[in-house]
Chains A and B, each alone.
Chain A
Amino acid sequence: MKYSNAWHLRDIILLTLIAIFFGVIYWIIGPLYNVLTVALTPVGLGPGANDIVMGIWVMAGPLSGYVFKKVGSATLGEFLGSVVEMFLGGQWGASTMISGVVQGVASELGFTFTGYKRYDWFSLNLSVLTTTIVTFGWDMIRNGYSKYHIGLLIALFIIRLISTWIFSGVLVKAIVNLLDRTHLMQTQTR
């Protein structure tokens, strides 16, 4: 099926609403992240909390990419999610937007590599992989991951890959399957 790449008022509102829903959900996740971090800090594994919940944080990207099937929709969805989180009073202020763009572009790449033609299990898994690699690269710079011992580094990467796969892969696919069964998206997202 051919999809239009133009954004109309209705799509923009829908994308923002979905982003807000996820923003609200991220915001609920905030405390969970903090509790996990506190629990893991004494053994020096505090940053691992970030990798454990990473999948939840990056869900808006692949979901909007899959739902809208437009160039840039994954990036925009994830970015708007971060903007919403920022104004809800998330803990990072304007810096949230940088993470939003990095995560958005990261999940977008999965769809870019398949030429925005395939929207199936394969492109979703590719998106999971690009998300994990790109966000991990960003954390190596920003959060100093690059200084860790190699064993820990590999463990963190695998944790992040699993988390991203469960939430941005399996869960997103389950949501999309439910949506497909309603037959609402094909006509309405054109």
Chain B
Amino acid sequence: MNPSLKFLLAVLIALEISFTNTWTVNLGLAVIGLLVILSSRPSLKRLVLLFFVPLIPAVALAVAILLQSNAGIHFALVLFTRIYAYVFVGSAATLTTSVADLVMSLEQNAHIPSKFAYGFLGAFNLLPKIVSEVNVIRAAGNMRGQALHIWSPQLYFKAILASLDWSENLAEAMTSHGFSEDAPRTYFKQIRIRWWDWLIVIGSLALLQVALFGLHLQ
């Protein structure tokens, strides 16, 4: 499926179930999300995490409703299943799409300016460097007997200085390789929106409305 539309659909579904209170629909969405995730053959470790990590906020919200409000067991169930629907539908989109595909699709199909697409992609590929930079900054602090915590301004300050340096270098490197901000581009990898992409988006949203209203009227 087209990456832009896939993410649009996941976000629209998450938005809609934030405002509705039908736990069976939430459960159904979670199951569908899970099936999509399973079809991408994730590792067992990831699957276990997917099940257990949402359990923490889901239980917390449900218990809080039972103990701290008069909303009752039904609403607790709604919140519990809503968290799982969020996580499974959301992960169904992220686990089946690479960053590069999503960015290219956003550029070609959603027409975001190419400077945003390639600027983001260029920076994103520095991710491993950034993780190690955070460790370097903390190690450098430790060597001088200065422990840097999550609340230390120096940690962020040094991170921003490194970002300033790298962004300058990366932007110059991209420009010297022939990237110009608003010039028309051709694409090595073409990403198209097919008719069935629209069919899936519109069909799923229509089904969701039918399910929500149908169960609401009962």
Q: Which residues of A does B touch, CB under 8 Å?
A: 7-14, 16-18, 20-21, 24-25, 28-29, 34, 37-38, 40-47, 49-50, 56, 63, 67, 80, 84, 86-88, 91-98, 141-144, 147-149, 152, 166-167, 171, 174-175, 177-179, 182, 184, 188
Contacts and interface: CB of A to CB of B under 8 A. Distances in A.
Interface in B101-151: 115-116, 118-120, 122-124, 126-127, 130-131, 134, 150-151
Contacts of A167: 151
Given A21-B130, A93-B89, A167-B151, A40 B120 contact: no
B175 interface: yes
Given A13-B123, A92-B87, A147-B75, 9 more contacts: A12-B123, A14-B164, A17-B162, A25-B150, A46-B60, A86-B90, A142-B18, A144-B69, A179-B160
B93 A94 contact: yes
Contact count band on B: 35 or more
B117 to A, nearest CB: 9
A28 to B, nearest CB: 7
| A11, A42, A44 interface centre (most CB from chain B within 10 Å) | A44
Contact of A9 (B19, B63, B119): B119
B150 A17 contact: no
A37 B94 contact: no
Interface in B37-70: 53-54, 56-57, 59-61, 63-70
Contact of B57 (A12, A20, A37): A37
Nearest to B8: A94
B5 interface: no
A24 B115 contact: no
B161 A14 contact: no
Given A20-B130, A84-B124, A175 B167 contact: no
The A interface, classified by DSSP as helix, strand, loop or mixed, is helix
A20 B71 contact: no
Nearest to A188: B164
A61 B177 CA distance: 32
A12 B115 contact: yes
Nearest to A49: B60
A143 B161 contact: no
B71 A46 contact: no
Interface of B: 7, 10-11, 14-15, 18-19, 53-54, 56-57, 59-61, 63-71, 75, 78-79, 82, 86-95, 99, 115-116, 118-120, 122-124, 126-127, 130-131, 134, 150-151, 153-154, 156-157, 159-164, 166-168, 170-171, 174-175, 179, 181
The B interface, classified by DSSP as helix, strand, loop or mixed, is helix
Contact of B116 (A12, A63, A97): A12
A138 to B, nearest CB: 8
Contact of B163 (A14, A98, A147, A148): A14
A91 B90 CA distance: 9
B160 A67 contact: yes
5 residue pairs, one from A and one from B, having the closest CB atoms: A93-B90, A46-B60, A44-B67, A12-B119, A16-B123
Contacts of A37: 56-57, 60
A62 to B, nearest CB: 12
A44 B68 contact: yes
Contacts of B54: 91
A17 B14 contact: no
Contacts of A8: 115, 171, 181
B166 A91 contact: no
B45 to A, nearest CB: 11
B123 A20 contact: yes
A116 B73 CA distance: 46
